[in-house]
């Protein structure tokens, strides 16, 4: 009982650790190799959530049986906890990779549970002695880093540890710690970029963009700290800080009698795992005295594709019911489908700047942009083109019937304290061709 997992009968973490240390010592003495494979079941949580923990336990037992059937004499198989397994195999790295291929093939086979056909895939991280570290603790870290990349890249595959992968993880850990310190020190603030009507030249809204006022490196864009959003806790903390700041800014502008239009804010997909997200955001708007018609939620299609899509749908519907506009950002860069536009309460499409950049010279980009604009019009949605930087781009978009534009041609993102001046001094640039003087006045 002290050495084995009660559910599967496999070795537990304590026994596994002792076995790994012994195998490494033996391999070092004999001049041989030993490999470690860490295995994680993909979508195990979905089985638990949809069919219950009994089904999850049945899946774990079945996967344990299959692993035991694959193992050779002298191999050690353990369940480390949850849906994570580990295998010690007396082979070199090449042999471990071949064994991992057999595991992924066998684990993917379906099996019956109370009339349900269950299936799962396995992601595997591989590390080996002497190719990698010598100590059991470091070799476990190596395999864990490889497993992280297997799950992050494409799942259902095996990845071998590399020093470059460890360096990326360590950089991410350092960045995460620094971002958290920055959040504590209130160094993250919203900058705002205007959205302009291509028909009237008027500012019709703003987009709030997170900026890091770094004490040593100056103002940083998400390109410098975006990887930290992969951590759900950090992404949620950033979103909570930003919405309070944005709501207060909007409230201040409205109090001054300034018309700022709808202010959009992008939320990370991790934030939509919180079923209370809409209540929190609507509460922040209420506290700041901001009517919901002045706020827009921007999402990327990852929100529609990640786990917990039902929670995301409920949150978005709650926003929509309260009068908050929903915009789909970076449209066309991923796997967005018309099904998403139909199922989710989206009423605003933002064309990604990658299609706008070569709009005047690339026929394919031009055709895509034109099709998106026509689709948006037929669905009764607003359409905004992002990354507009030239008069020619603005002219073509206007001719296509695009409603709004956003980009450096009109203004770069600026700190909130400058927005009252921007709104008060904005000069209508004359349909789609603002003057050079106009564009340069609002870029600092």
The per-residue pLDDT for range 177-198, each reduced to its tens digit, is: 999 999 999 999 999 999 999 9
Taking 50 as the threshold, does the pLDDT of residue 440 lie above it? no
Instruction: Report the DSSP pairing between strands 325-331 and 348-351.
Output: parallel
Residue 157 pLDDT grade (very low, low, confident, very high; cuts 50, 70, 90): confident
Element (H, E) at 79: strand 76-81
Query: 307 lies in a domain?
Result: yes
Taking 60 as the threshold, does the pLDDT of residue 172 lie above it? yes
Q: Which of 220, 404, 358, 229 is nearest to 300 (CA)?
A: 229
- Average confidence (pLDDT) over 123-141: 89
Taking 70 as the threshold, does the pLDDT of residue 442 lie above it? no
Q: Which of 127, 161, 195 is the last residue of a domain?
A: 161
Domain count for the chain: 2
Q: Which of 31-45, 179-193, 328-342 has the lowest mean pLDDT?
A: 328-342
Rounded (5°) CA angle 106-111-114: 160
Instruction: Report the DSSP pairing between strands 111-113 and 325-331.
Output: unpaired
**Residues 310-335, buried b or exposed e (16+ Cβ, 10 A)?**
eebbebbebbbeeebbbbbbbbbeee
Residue with tokens 């709501």: 247
Q: Is 214 helix (H, G, I), strand (E, B) or coil?
A: strand
CA distance 168 to 405: 36
Q: Which of 97-111, 254-268, 369-383, 408-422 has the lowest mean pLDDT?
A: 97-111
Query: 6 lies in a domain?
Result: no
Taking 50 as the threshold, does the pLDDT of residue 215 lie above it? yes
| Percent of residues, the chain, with pLDDT higher than 90 | 45
Instruction: Tell me the CA distances in angstroms from 345 to 171, 297, 327, 381, one per residue in order.
Output: 38, 11, 9, 11
**How buried is residue 391: exposed, middle or buried, by Cβ count under 10 Å (0-12/13-18/19+)?**
middle
CATH assignment at residue 368: 3.20.20.450
Taking 80 as the threshold, does the pLDDT of residue 129 lie above it? yes
Residues 154 and 219 in one domain: no
Say which DSSP state 299 is in. Answer: E
Q: How many CB atoms lie within 10 A of CB 308?
A: 19
Residues 239 and 152 in one domain: no
Residue 439 pLDDT grade (very low, low, confident, very high; cuts 50, 70, 90): very low
Residues 147 and 205 in one domain: no
CB 97 within 8 A of CB 104: no
Taking 70 as the threshold, does the pLDDT of residue 436 lie above it? no
Residues 75 and 191 in one domain: no
**How buried is residue 175: exposed, middle or buried, by Cβ count under 10 Å (0-12/13-18/19+)?**
middle
Query: 107 lies in a domain?
Result: yes
Residues 129 and 25 in one domain: yes
Query: 430 lies in a domain?
Result: yes
Residue 277 neighbours by CB under 8 Å, 6+ apart: 267, 271, 315
Q: What is the pLDDT, as a whole number, of residue 435?
A: 40
Q: Does 173 or 416 have the greater pLDDT score?
A: 416
Beta strands in 94-170 (DSSP E): 111-113, 116-118, 122-129, 158-160
Residues 85 and 198 in one domain: no
Residues 112 and 243 in one domain: no
**Radius of gyration over every alpha carbon of the chain, rounded to an integer in angstroms:** 27
CATH assignment at residue 148: 3.30.70.270
CA distance 439 to 428: 11
CB 70 within 8 A of CB 102: yes
Q: What is the pLDDT, as a whole number, of residue 164?
A: 82
Taking 60 as the threshold, does the pLDDT of residue 273 lie above it? yes
Query: 391 lies in a domain?
Result: yes
Residue 335 pLDDT grade (very low, low, confident, very high; cuts 50, 70, 90): low
Query: 310 lies in a domain?
Result: yes
CB 146 within 8 A of CB 38: yes
Q: What is the pLDDT, as a whole number, of residue 280?
A: 95
Q: What is the pLDDT, as a whole number, of residue 387?
A: 93
Largest pairwise CA distance in the chain: 81
- Average confidence (pLDDT) over 39-58: 78
The mean of the pLDDT values for the chain is 87
* Residue 70 belongs to domain spanning: 13-161
**How buried is residue 63: exposed, middle or buried, by Cβ count under 10 Å (0-12/13-18/19+)?**
buried
Residues 249 and 129 in one domain: no
Summarize pLDDT for 371-402 with one digit per residue, the tens.
999 999 998 999 999 999 999 999 999 999 99
CA distance 52 to 41: 16
CA distance 440 to 444: 8
Q: Which residues is 404 bridged to in the sheet? A: 197, 384
Residues 252 and 325 in one domain: yes
Residues 150 and 201 in one domain: no
Summarize pLDDT for 337-370 with one digit per residue, the tens.
577 777 889 999 999 999 999 999 999 999 999 9
Query: 4 lies in a domain?
Result: no
Query: 208 lies in a domain?
Result: yes
Q: Does 250 or 12 have the greater pLDDT score?
A: 250
Q: Is the previous residue joined to 130 through a cis bond, with omega within 30 degrees of 0?
A: yes
Residues 97 and 141 in one domain: yes
Instruction: Tell me the CA distances in angstroms from 402 to 290, 361, 384, one per residue in order.
Output: 28, 18, 7
CB 317 within 8 A of CB 345: yes
Q: What is the pLDDT, as a whole number, of residue 306?
A: 61
pTM of the model: 0.72
Residues 402 and 289 in one domain: yes
- Average confidence (pLDDT) over 80-107: 88
Q: Does 41 or 302 have the greater pLDDT score?
A: 41
CA distance 98 to 406: 51
- Average confidence (pLDDT) over 286-304: 91
CA distance 133 to 146: 13
Residue 57 pLDDT grade (very low, low, confident, very high; cuts 50, 70, 90): confident
Q: Which of 233, 178, 253, 189 is nearest to 421 (CA)?
A: 253
CB 213 within 8 A of CB 181: no
Instruction: Tell me the CA distances in angstroms from 358 to 98, 334, 394, one per residue in order.
Output: 45, 19, 12
Q: Which of 359, 405, 395, 402 is nearest to 381 (CA)?
A: 402
**The two three-digit tokens of residue 378, written as one number:** 């037929």
């Amino acid at each position: 009982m002290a050495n084995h997992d009660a559910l599967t009968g496999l070795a537990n973490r304590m026994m596994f650790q002792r076995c790994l240390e012994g195998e490494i010592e033996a391999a070092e003495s004999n001049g041989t190799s030993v490999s470690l494979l860490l295995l994680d079941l993909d979508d195990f949580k979905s089985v638990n959530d949809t069919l219950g923990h009994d089904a999850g336990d049945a899946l774990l037992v079945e996967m344990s049986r299959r692993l035991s059937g694959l193992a050779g004499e002298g191999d050690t198989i353990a369940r480390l906890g949850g849906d994570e397994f580990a295998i010690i195999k007396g082979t070199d790295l090449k042999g471990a990779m071949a064994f991992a291929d057999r595991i992924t093939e066998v684990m993917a086979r379906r099996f019956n549970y109370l009339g349900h056909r269950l299936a799962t895939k396995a992601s595997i991280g591989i590390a080996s002695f002497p190719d990698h570290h010598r100590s059991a603790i470091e070799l476990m870290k190596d395999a864990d880093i490889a497993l992280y990349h297997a799950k992050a890249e494409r799942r259902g595959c095996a990845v071998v540890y590399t020093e470059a992968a460890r360096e990326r993880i360590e950089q991410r850990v350092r960045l995460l710690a620094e971002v958290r310190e920055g959040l504590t020190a209130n160094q993250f603030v919203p900058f705002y970029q205007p959205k302009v009507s291509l028909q009237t030249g008027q500012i019709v809204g703003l987009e709030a963009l997170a900026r890091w006022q770094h004490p040593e490196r100056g103002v940083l864009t998400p390109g410098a700290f975006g990887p930290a959003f992969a951590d759900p806790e950090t992404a949620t903390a950033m979103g909570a800080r930003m919405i309070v700041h944005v709501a207060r800014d909007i409230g201040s502008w409205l109090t001054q009698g300034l018309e700022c239009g709808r202010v959009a804010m992008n939320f990370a997909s991790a934030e939509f795992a919180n079923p209370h997200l809409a209540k929190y955001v609507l509460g922040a708007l209420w506290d700041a005295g901001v009517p919901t018609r002045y706020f827009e939620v921007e999402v990327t299609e990852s929100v529609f594709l990640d786990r917990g899509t039902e929670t995301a749908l409920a949150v978005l519907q709650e926003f929509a019911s309260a009068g908050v506009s929903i915009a789909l950002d970076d449209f066309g860069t991923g796997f967005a489908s018309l099904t998403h536009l139909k199922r989710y309460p989206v009423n605003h499409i933002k064309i990604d700047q990658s299609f706008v950049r070569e709009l005047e010279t690339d026929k394919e980009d031009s055709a895509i942009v034109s099709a998106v604009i026509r689709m948006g019009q037929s669905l009764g949605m607003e359409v905004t083109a992002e990354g507009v930087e030239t008069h020619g781009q603005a002219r073509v978009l206007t001719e296509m019937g695009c409603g709004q534009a956003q980009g450096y041609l009109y203004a770069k993102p600026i700190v909130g304290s400058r927005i009252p001046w921007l709104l008060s001094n904005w000069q209508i640039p004359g349909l789609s061709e603002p003057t050079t003087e106009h564009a340069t006045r609002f870029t600092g």
